[in-house]
Each structure stands twice: as structure tokens, then as C-alpha cells.
Amino acid sequence: MTKRVLVPVADGIEEIEAVCIIDTLRRAGAEVTVAAVGERQITASRGVKIVADCLLADCESETYDLIALPGGMPGAEQLRDSDMLRRMLTSHVQQRRLYGAICAAPAVVLQHYGLLSGRCATCHPHFANHLDSPSGLQQRVVVDGLCVTSQGPGTALEFALALVEILFDKETAQTVADPMILP
């Protein structure tokens, strides 16, 4: 059965994180939908243009196995301010489905939506004071049940591979990682 993944993007997201999540999950065989908040073409935090597959509104009635949020500023704030994404993520978590966020997004989006309550999480150190529970801040990637968080661009590949391992299995994650020549 094909695993379906939603990666919401918005102007100002961190491009390394977004592309790493999208690429790694597609290498694993997931059907990844990149959905924009706002216009289909977004400008990432370093000026890279990304064209989404569709608008977030096109995905509202869909069900996904994973929703993964890239960070970056002001992209994470753009994601946070989307009422549609809030509804989708809240429903997704209530259905006990896998979700993840990296960099600013755990603190700016997930914490703001109340989706880290009782969870161990990490984020970019600059946003650590926004987390209610800073117990996972020393870890590059934190997996707490169906919630996966990570610190930033330098941890994006580890984060994406952790998502692959949970979504599929350890062997699939290793099969994806091996050709990438990871240490």
C-alpha cells in the first residue's frame, strides 16, 4: 500500500529542509504532495523558488499517513497562521497519524497548535524558549510516539530518514540511506 505524505510549504520556509523531506520520502516510495499556503510558487528563505504540486486547499479533504513541516522563518509563521493547516493537523493527530516538524516549526507551529502537549521534542536552539518541555533539546532528532521533531537544516536528512523508518521500516530507511553515502 502506498504511503501518502503531505508537505505544506509557504513563502520563507527553509529550502534545505523542505527539499530534503520531499526527496528522501519520494526515494522511499512515498507519494508526496507538496501543498502551498498562498500561491503555488513560493520563495524560500534563501530566495530559492519552489513550485508546489497544488494549493493546501486542494488537500483539505484528503487523508495522509504523514504530515511533515519544514521550518525556516518567516515560513513557519506562514504555516502557523493557516487556519486550514491547523484544522488538518489537529484532525490528523486526533486520528493518531504520524506528524513531524523541523527547525522553527516544532515551536512556532506544533507548540502553538497544542500538538506537543506531553511530548518530548526538539527544535532549532533559537526557538527553544518557545517549547513547554525542553527535555529533547540536546538531541538532533526526537521521536516521541507519532511525533518526530528535529533541529534544523543540518539535521534534515536524519529527520527525513527517521520519518521513512517509522512510515515504512528500518530496511527501507537503510535502502534509501546507502546510495546517499552517509557516514
Note the CATH number of domain 4-178: 3.40.50.880
**Would residue 123 show up in a list of annotated catalytic residues for this protein?**
no
Cell readout for 177 is 540511506
Q: Is the pLDDT assigned to residue 42 strictly greater than 80?
A: yes
**Torsion sign, CA atoms 164, 168, 172, 174:** positive
**How far is Cα 24 from Cα 19, in angstroms, rounded to an integer?**
8
Q: Which of 103, 120, 123, 147 is catalytic?
A: 103
**Residue 41's closest CA among 11, 67, 17?**
11
Band (172; pLDDT cuts 50, 70, 90): very high
Which pLDDT tens digit goes with each residue over 66-96? 999 999 999 999 999 999 999 999 999 999 9
Which pLDDT tens digit goes with each residue over 8-41? 999 999 999 999 999 999 999 999 999 999 999 9
**How far is Cα 136 from Cα 122, in angstroms, rounded to an integer?**
5
Band (132; pLDDT cuts 50, 70, 90): confident
